[in-house]
Chains A and B, each alone.
Chain A
Amino acid sequence: MGYARALRCRKCGHEYPIQPINQCEFCLSPLEVIYDYQAMAKELSRKKVAMGPLSMWRYRAMLPVESEEVDIGSGFTPLVKADNLGRELGLDHLYIKNDCLNPTYSFKDRPVSVAITKAREFGFDTVACASTGNLAASVAAHAAKANMKAYVFVPSDTESGKLVGAAIYNPALVVVNGSYDDVNRLCATLVQNYNWGFININLRPYYAEGSKTMGHEIAEQLGWRAPNCILHPAGSGISFTRIWKGLNELAILGLIEPVKTHMYLVQAAGSSPIVNAFEAGTLHVNPVVPDTVAKSIAIGNPADGYDALKIARESGGGACAVTDKELIEGIKLLAQTEGIFAEATGGAVIASLKKLAASGLIKRRELTVAFITGAGPRTQETVADIVQSCTIQPTLKSFREVFGEPV
């Protein structure tokens, strides 16, 4: 039995039974899952968690599911001590949470695993999403595992290379002849007309909860404590809010001390509505038209911008945006110091970390965790200029002419 009790509006507090909806009927704000933490506390202990599977499902008691999970092996990714990068940036206790190492190469496998489990519980036989990359691949892969039909909608300008990552799992891949905004509008209409589980619309409250496991994991991997600082990228802002929720529920359950983590939110300068609001000192996020190579976080009208902003502010953290040029340097720096090839969004995290460390906002002695949420190989074109091989003849002489005599 699970401990999810209801859905609650994040703004006005109105409660709804567990069902496939995502918006408050009264104030039209996002809904989130609430739990019976008292009952949960009776079951959970550090020891019990440690005995669970080596995946995100070791935290199953804190997820809103009742049935057997749809699991392709997501989560429990490495938390790596990044000494080389730390030395470069002047940080003594820097860790990288490498979520590239999920089955479809991004953190999206965590929320999607929960959303598809829930879709099956609600009796949907078809799931759908609109995506330009990581989400599409993850939904298609989980639908394949669950023997469900999947519809994946993509804008017509999506690069063919990115389509392969989803198409391999054999979803209905629908290329919409129109812009990013056209696809947004179409999918908002589809969800009203088809009885589908739309991963990030009517299943969104459940989808979101999967991201909490990133918070659970780092706390466990650090020996059951929350770090001093967290850097995480924000598109819609939803996973940023759920990492915070994940850490705080561990504290509520008595598994860690009260959380004092400073939460830093990262965006690309070409799509930074949340950072803009943070800098302007308001709580209202004005939408923008995205224009950045960091497609995974290129969301101009973030659904959870308000909550993400609130957390960045109330946790004593911040919000940082970097240019495409800076984030590409970030990708290279991470690869060349720690051997981790991140997608553009990860580059934004590293470039922001560099800025925040240089400005003294993140201090040398602080235990800092930077989240790398997606792998680079799917979007290699971002750093294609890196290839500068030297061509030689297949002779020792030719090699020595270029690289010199052996030492």
Chain B
Amino acid sequence: MAKRQVMFTFPQELIKEPIIYNLSQQFGVVTNVRRADVSENRGWVVLELEGEEKDVEQGITWVTSKGVRVDPVIGDIVEG
């Protein structure tokens, strides 16, 4: 099993779509929201994803293809 802690940033046009629900349903990934701020214009959600490595990977690829920006919660690791 793999765990990933990520932040989803939603553009306005995707605010009404049940992206997190679909991610869970279609890829069998357990989603666990820890922090979030969603308004009518924009939204971000910090969550933990848990599932088989390939399911988590494919799920993240699908979410990204929908137009959601996915970043690691930990921030960038590469420093100058």
Contacts A184-B72, A301-B72 given; indicate if A27 touches B34 (C-beta within 8 A): yes
CB neighbours (8 Å) of A29 from chain B are: 35
Chain B, 1-60, CB within 8 A of any chain A CB:
5, 7, 9, 34-35, 37, 44, 46, 48
Q: List 25 A-B contacts (CB under 8 A).
A: A23-B5, A23-B73, A28-B48, A130-B79, A131-B78, A131-B79, A133-B80, A134-B79, A135-B80, A153-B78, A180-B76, A183-B78, A188-B72, A188-B77, A201-B74, A235-B79, A284-B37, A286-B69, A295-B80, A296-B79, A299-B78, A299-B80, A300-B76, A303-B76, A304-B75
Identify which of A22, A153, A284, A345 contacts B80 (C-beta below 8 A): A345
Q: Whole-angstrom distance from the CB of A371 to the nearest CB of chain B? A: 15
Q: Whole-angstrom distance from the CB of A99 to the nearest CB of chain B? A: 14
CB neighbours (8 Å) of B7 from chain A are: 287
Known pairs A287-B7, A303-B76. 8 more at Cβ < 8 A? Answer: A22-B74, A27-B34, A28-B48, A29-B35, A188-B74, A296-B79, A296-B80, A301-B76
A298 contacts B by Cβ under 8 Å:
yes
| Cα A235 to Cα B75 with chains together (Å) | 11
Number of interface residues of B (CB under 8 A): 20
A26 contacts B by Cβ under 8 Å:
yes
CB neighbours (8 Å) of A286 from chain B are: 9, 44, 69
CB neighbours (8 Å) of A11 from chain B are: 35
A103 contacts B by Cβ under 8 Å:
no
CB neighbours (8 Å) of B48 from chain A are: 28
| Cα A26 to Cα B46 with chains together (Å) | 11
Contact A287 B34 (CB under 8 A): no
Contact A28 B79 (CB under 8 A): no
Contacts A28-B35, A184-B72, A185-B72 given; indicate if A287 touches B9 (C-beta within 8 A): yes
Contacts A28-B34, A286-B9, A287-B9 given; indicate if A303 touches B80 (C-beta within 8 A): no
Interface of B is mostly: strand
| Cα A188 to Cα B35 with chains together (Å) | 20
Select from chain B the residue with minimum beta-carbon distance to A300: B76
| Cα A366 to Cα B26 with chains together (Å) | 59
Contact B80 A298 (CB under 8 A): yes
Q: Whole-angstrom distance from the CB of A375 to the nearest CB of chain B? A: 13
Contact B78 A23 (CB under 8 A): no
0/1 interface trace, chain A 330-372, chain B, CB 8 Å (1 if under): 0000000000000001000000000000000000000000000
| Cα A204 to Cα B73 with chains together (Å) | 14
CB neighbours (8 Å) of A132 from chain B are: 78-80
Contact A287 B80 (CB under 8 A): no
Select from chain B the residue with minimum beta-carbon distance to A179: B78
| Cα A300 to Cα B57 with chains together (Å) | 22
- Chain A residues at the B interface, C-beta cutoff of 8 Å: 11, 22-23, 26-29, 129-135, 153, 155, 180, 183-185, 187-188, 200-201, 235-236, 284, 286-287, 295-305, 345, 374
Contact B75 A303 (CB under 8 A): yes
Q: Whole-angstrom distance from the CB of A278 to the nearest CB of chain B? A: 17
| Cα A302 to Cα B73 with chains together (Å) | 10
CB neighbours (8 Å) of A304 from chain B are: 75
Contact A299 B35 (CB under 8 A): no
CB neighbours (8 Å) of A300 from chain B are: 76
Select from chain B the residue with minimum beta-carbon distance to A374: B80
CB neighbours (8 Å) of B9 from chain A are: 286-287
Select from chain A the residue with minimum beta-carbon distance to B5: A28
CB neighbours (8 Å) of A200 from chain B are: 77, 79
Identify which of B34, B37, B46, B80 contacts A235 (C-beta below 8 A): B80
| Cα A307 to Cα B22 with chains together (Å) | 33
| Cα A284 to Cα B79 with chains together (Å) | 21
| Cα A22 to Cα B48 with chains together (Å) | 16
| Cα A174 to Cα B33 with chains together (Å) | 35
Q: Whole-angstrom distance from the CB of A60 to the nearest CB of chain B? A: 25
CB neighbours (8 Å) of B73 from chain A are: 23, 28
Contact A184 B78 (CB under 8 A): yes
Contact B78 A287 (CB under 8 A): no
CB neighbours (8 Å) of A131 from chain B are: 78-80
Ranked nearest first, the 5 interchain pairs of A and B with the lowest CB-CB distance are A303-B75, A296-B80, A130-B78, A135-B79, A187-B77
| Cα A200 to Cα B76 with chains together (Å) | 10
Select from chain A the residue with minimum beta-carbon distance to B79: A135
Contact A284 B44 (CB under 8 A): yes
Q: Whole-angstrom distance from the CB of B46 to the nearest CB of chain A? A: 6
